[in-house]
Structure 1
Amino acid sequence: MDDIHAPTVASGPTSGGPPPRDLSKLGMVDLMQEKERIEEELSALSSVLTSHGVRMSTSLTTFDGFPRDDIDVAQIRTTRTRIIRLRNDHKDVMSHLEKGIHNHFANLQRAQAVAPSGGNAGDTPGLQASVSGNAASDAGAAGMPFAKVNSVVPGSPADQAGLRAGDTVRSFASANWLNHERLSKVAQVVQQSEGRTVVVKVSRKEPNSTSNIELSLELVPRRDWGGRGLLGCHLVPL
């Protein structure tokens, strides 16, 4: 009898994975890269489970307690273990990112507090730091852009809400740059919000200017607008 616990799919994950990194020693850019790496691996591992027709909670035994013989039980178990570890790693990375953001803006506020008064913004470093601190604080409150509106269909819910091609998305309801998971969180929000108002915060470049304007738009995902999808726009991750 064949050993049903022996892995049979060469593309499956191993239980080891890369060695753990000391997140406390990573800067914000490295933390963001680590976040993206984890999310990409989670997406790949999710595809492995999907290829077997199972989820994290799907039973791997028959009704009488024997291992199922229609799936690769060993690979699925290994994949699930890796997913659990990566989810914990993702939480740790997000925690360090949040701390880094708070520390960054705290430093900006301290720099603003000690900035000398008077003088022109062009010749006073302290005042420049103050202005930059205010702008960065505003950006932090809204969230860093994580997606760009690539196209908008005329007459669609996105068009009626005021979205335009070229807008960068800072938040889409509860989805933001820290948790959007390569826009899968946005798709989840859209599916769960059909017929209900969703607040979308975007940054838009003003014509003939280098500055941006910040907008808070109300979008109602719906199917009956005459086109494909619930939004009528195409988002791409940044």
Structure 2
Amino acid sequence: MSLRLEKYGSVAHLLIDRPEKRNAFTTAMWQATPDLLADAADDPDVRVLVIRSAEAGGVFCAGADIKEMLANKDDAEWRAANQTAINRVQHELARLSVPTIAFVEGDCVGGGCGIALACDLRVAKAKARFGITPGKLGLVYPLHDVKLLVDLVGPGQAKRMLFTGELLGAQEAARIGLVELLADSPDALIEQLLAASPHSIREIKRVVRRVLDGQSDDDVETRAIFAEAFIRPDFHEGTAAFVEKRKPDFGG
């Protein structure tokens, strides 16, 4: 199977396993992804989702399967289904209830870079490279994915990446804000996420998404989210741990 979900306690790993094709995504892979995301998000034991190559040190994802695209380029029905599947994955991944990490060890290109953009955080090894190459293929990157890119790196760097299709090394990707952390493993970051309140992370993630989607002022719902936190178990545990000078135990 080219995609699979593996769970290890509080951490789920969505593994891309098509090394013979540099982990390029087919339409079937895009269509299979939402169920795997839902499996992770709906599991009460899962508190972090990591997306990575199944092959240690391998390519994260080379983007769309070009051979499949060329074979179906004149099929309007296939093109529509492909676009719908990609858009659904990107939209749902960017709004998944649990925090998501893209762990990038090798090339992360095109639609693969889109997957990384839709995650909350990106951790890259030194040899990782990032590029968005539709300009070299006569294609146009989806608006939602362009927004994710602009939100991260700003319009100037986004245009640079989209116009040129240049592959950026890990250091340069980190410099412009495309990557949050350069490391050989996401384990330290995962440990930090698991040490925090799952309620806080979940709700803060929702608030950040509201801001990115254009909301700039509190409304009834966001005020209620803020107020409700004071009566939840995580607040009581967090404050008790602070007073007692110990690490909080939020469970999970």
Does TM, scored on the shorter chain, surpass 0.5?
A: no
TM norm structure 1: 0.23
TM norm structure 2: 0.22
In our comparison, the structure showing a higher alpha carbon Rg is 1
